[in-house]
Structure 1
């Protein structure tokens, strides 16, 4: 007779500050034997005790809590356990999420909603007196003046305004779980693939990447690719105690993409590599402190805290978007070869180096980059920065640092990767538009780092048609 798997709940929460984390109840090698024999609830931190109480109320016999399952003082054991995270959350009957708690010592069941106390005394019967307790409800947003200083709603807590929603390690826990209970400071909400229902009586529908993802995408490669890029763009702005965990914190998601580790290069995929390389940082995430000097320092492949190669979005903690869709492109390279070396046991986790070798058309950036927006243009992803050749605008350029006006072209190169036909207004035929990346010499002789991306304009593709192929190495 086939044994039925036990039904269990999982807990997604924040450990809190370094001082709180240091006092977290966890299983280490020195305490493993005692933990196996049993332990009292009083020895656990408050967020764990609350999770146990919820599990009991749901009549669920088991709960998975990471601090109890991972031997924290052994990196090898940590890596081995962290590779199972995707399965833990996907197979859980329900996941308890705690956006109303910012520390392992802060519970989420005892709520104290903000309210206004209004004294009352009857003018008819003087002895009848007391007070009203008034608090805001429903979906009032914090941006609304009437709601300023009041409790945050489910949407705000789960997307922007809680430690839980800003931590990188909680991201894949939330999107992989098929059912979630979100305990906010103001209200409780239940979410599954069909709907979201809140304690305040509101009901809505989740997006396809909010919960239980990848269920129907195994055979649909383009949809799976689009979902991966959307998820990673949401993920990259999130906070980590150690930036070197940027890739390990989504290794569970990468593992269930339906492709093997030989197809995975620090967040990018072999099957769509020329498209995946054409990403740009979102303009709202680049500020005056993001200088060229700071970027080149971050991309130094010899620094001790190596995160990812320069051509991976993972090396920067900002959201990004792609310039071209995977369904509509022509590969303009002769060959592309990528490789990364895992830092430890997980082939989808931290890497210690990476190399991209491309044989393609490379040209020197023909002019300084200038701010030259078309008349009536709106603020765009590319910030309307352009390069020219012979007084003709040939390309829109987005660098990964805060661009000056004009931006000195210096030693920058343009490497063409892909193209498609674009219908320019006023023309009866479509014009081929090219996409590629901007390169800067690295500290290693003969190799480059990726520092931006470009899209050619109406006359720009011809610049590459007049040039020949050459091989470049990007680290």
Structure 2
């Protein structure tokens, strides 16, 4: 292959460091490799309707070009791959993607055999140094620790810019807390105060308590906290929060474990029900994202930070010192390094509701209603080569690490008529939220109450029912605790019953522990299907009428739809069998996505036994029992042989052990068969009304 073409190149003035034999004729010409001829920072290829054109090269071609010692572009790209020990799967995808623009960084990504998707930012050491790639722009190096004086000065500049340029960030909304910690601007005189002036500016701390006993306020210690709190008493995370708040000029701090009386149920319920509003009202939220507990000094200890350190990229023989640096891209949408705080359920709404969110993670980042900035100089979508999950049309990028500015835009503006708010609720809020952890499992609903309140303001004519919305409740029933991917085709239960008693009706995703997935179709999908069952009545009773989005004490649905009896067998895979008079010898069977393991239960009165949800984390026994199946949703698809395949989602119910005339949910089954075949069994379904609790 002819790898090289000739092209004029501007003299860099670095003749003393360049190797003579690679500057043909010594006339300022350089040979440009055909492998990357269509990509240089100085003369990028046509944009092709993309903000940054992407070139895809074969790793072998890059290595072959580098081996000739003539192309500085392929040389630098290959050195980046070698420096970061890139490994490609034999016979797999060996594509290297590259994008960049003049006087900026360029980015290199590949699918690594060991680490999966990997992306590097490549940049000039500084704007003034001579560089092996003259069109390369500089970037900001990350400091060794996030608590250094340089970064404290940087966050003050971020705050000052936000105050002067972001009107939405200066709007005071939310709820004033009952108590704050006065920290002043000194290292003493700290104390808990109970009479909070409405105009008080305060910082709020978002943190993981950790397994070690946290420094808290109780009924017994309340007066001591009011008299004074010494610096030595506070765990490291709290001391760090004081340092950051004082650096921002804030004299008051809110910490949940200190400002809420932990053994006073009335105070706890009152303050936690308004938690979202407390973070929303805070002038800034300080997030100890990298800390797994309050004992950790997050200003001087950032696990994973060294991963993003810059490495010098060798450009010999083109220059003895290249002044080119490469480092992994710090992109908050990616989950290569999940912080402890991103696994905490309460922190989900703390991030979404805050108007300014300062995160001490592997890198220091600032998110506010006006935008995002990282200490590394990149924005929220730091990696232009990363194609992460997003909500069509609104750029709600990966709510695993919530995009607060996008959420605020959604809540503050009228969405387009085609926008499906309920779909977003289930798939972009409930689904990622359900993967997070709680110390007190009973907080599954309260920990989302602030987001619910904002969402309800968007749809005021709807009713919130223990995690679901009444106007779209049939679609809200299409949840499962088991993923629908091929990795879990057995239908084994992915969740379990909470051990702390009743939490929500069985039809709510909040009634079980574990990650939730939704099978619900988008309203604008090419084949959204048809809902066969309607909800003719729905009610949910809050534990306290003053806290409408928190704990619930009871609830029911009255369903009307096609239903039939079926046999549930677990031996060991859960399956449902539907029998038909027309097809007696060949019942239709399919796997069940059980919400939890099941067990035999005694029914009220003399009604015998049935099966119901079990508290055991694993299925303890083989089961064969009668259940009721209700058709929730029908859809159709055309197979490769042009036959029409029917997909029916059925709700699997069993008689309730709590109430004689009611049913409880066990799970969901999807029946898939050629349309003509399934119609025979479908004749067994009769329209019924069922009470589900």
Q: Cα–Cα, structure 1 residues 270 and 154, in superposed 2: closer, same or farther, change >3 Å?
A: same
Contact map agreement 1:279 1:313 (CA 8 A) in 2:
yes
- Runs of at least 5 residues in structure 1 that lack an aligned partner in the other structure: 117-135, 141-152, 372-382
Matching residue of 2:403: 211
1:83 maps to which of 257, 260, 273:
273
Partner residue in 1 for 2:555: 354
In 2, the alpha carbon distance for the partners of 1:346 and 1:413 equals: 35
Cα deviation, residue 431, structure 1: 7.4
Match of 1:13 among 207, 214, 217: 207
Q: 2:442 aligns with which of 244, 249, 254?
A: 244
Query: How far apart, CA to CA, are the structure 2 residues paired with 1:307 and 1:192?
Result: 34
Which position in structure 2 is the counterpart of 1:308? 504
Q: Which residue of 1 aligns with 2:651?
A: 437
Contact 1:423 1:430 in 2 (8 A): yes
The offset of 1:286, in angstroms, is 7.1
Secondary structure, aligned partner of 2:689: strand
Whole-Å separation in 1 of the counterparts to 2:327 and 2:461: 46
* Matched residue, 1:376: none
Matches within 5 A, 1:269-280: 269-280=469-480
Cα contact 1:178–1:192 (8 A) shared by 2: yes
Q: Distance in 2 between matches of 1:260 and 1:353?
A: 22
Match of 2:328 in 1: 139
Cα distance in 2 for residues equivalent to 1:235 and 1:418: 25
Secondary structure of the residue aligned to 2:442 is helix
Give the Cα–Cα distance (whole angstroms) in 1 for the partners of residues 460 and 326 of structure 2: 48
Other-structure match for 1:169: 346
Shift in CA distance, 467/190, structure 1 to aligned 2, threshold 3 Å: same
Distance across 1 between alignment mates of 2:515 and 2:206: 23
1:56 to 222, 226, 246: 246
| Contact preservation (8 Å) 1:160, 1:166 | no
SS in 1 for 2:410: coil
Structure showing greater Rg:
2
Say if 1:341 and 1:367 are closer, same or farther in 2 by CA, change over 3 A: closer
Post-superposition Cα deviations, 1:13-62, rounded to whole Å, max 9, x if no partner, equal 01111x423xx1x3344444554455443433221121111112223343
Q: Is contact 2:535-2:557 (8 Å) kept?
A: no
Report deviation, 1:335. 4.1
Mapped partners of 1:226, 1:187: distance in 2: 32
Structure 1 residue 467 corresponds to structure 2 residue 685: yes
CA contact (8 A) 1:214 1:224 kept: no
1:109 corresponds to which of 299, 302, 307: 299
1:448-467 paired onto structure 2 within 5 Å: 448-457=663-672, 458-459=674-675, 460=678, 463-464=681-682, 467=685
Change (3 A) 1:465 1:265: farther
Q: Is the 8 A contact 1:419 1:432 kept in 2?
A: yes
1:227 deviates by 2.5
Shift of 1:10: 1.9
Aligned-partner Cα distance in 1 for 2:565–2:529: 24
1:332 aligned residue:
532
- Listed as ranges, the matches of 1:242-391 within 5 Å are 242-258=440-456, 259=459, 263-283=463-483, 298=497, 305-325=501-521, 327=523, 328=528, 330-333=530-533, 335-344=535-544, 345-365=546-566, 390=583, 391=586
Matches of 1:288 and 1:433, distance apart in 2:
18
SS in 2 for 1:53: helix
Change (3 A) 1:261 1:101: farther
Distance 2:679 2:280 in 1: 46
Shift of 1:81: 1.0
Which of 175, 185, 191 aligns to 2:367? It is 191
Q: How far apart are the structure 2 equivalents of 1:338 and 1:192? A: 38
Question: Which stretch shifts more, 270-279 or 175-184?
Answer: 175-184
Confirm or deny: 8 A CA contact 1:159 1:165 kept in the other structure. no
Q: Deviation per CA, 1:239-260: give whole Å up to 9, x if none.
A: 2222111111111111111256
What SS does the aligned partner of 1:412 have?
A: strand
Number of positions where the alignment pairs a residue of Structure 1 with one of Structure 2: 418
* Native 8 Å contact 1:286 1:401 kept in 2: no
Between 1:387-396 and 1:31-40, the stretch displaced more is 387-396
SS in 1 for 2:237: helix
- Offset of residue 70 of structure 1: 1.6
What is the RMSD of the two structures over their aligned residues, measured on CA atoms? 4.2
1:179/1:462 Cα in 2 relative to 1: closer, same or farther (>3 Å)? farther
Once the two structures are TM-superposed, the CA of residue 233 in structure 1 deviates from its matched residue by 1.0
| 1:180 and 2:352 are equivalent in the alignment | no
Relative to structure 1, is the Cα distance of residues 288 and 432 closer, same or farther in structure 2, using a 3 angstrom cutoff? closer
TM-score normalised over the length of structure 2: 0.52
Deviation digits for residues 384-432 of structure 1 (CA, Å, limit 9, x no counterpart):
978676458686743335799xx97631221122335x34236889777
Tell me by how many angstroms 1:348 deviates: 1.0
User: Are the aligned partners of 1:246 and 1:314 in contact in 2 as well (CA < 8 Å)?
Assistant: yes
**C-alpha displacement at 1:443, in angstroms?**
2.0
Q: 2:432 aligns with which of 221, 228, 234?
A: 234
Rounded Cα–Cα distance in structure 1 between residues aligned with 2:640 and 2:530: 24
Contact 1:433 1:455 in 2 (8 A): yes
1:399 counterpart residue number: 594
How far apart are 1:471 and its partner, in Å?
A: 1.8
The answer to which structure, 1 or 2, has the higher relative contact order (CA under 8 A, 6+ apart) is: 1
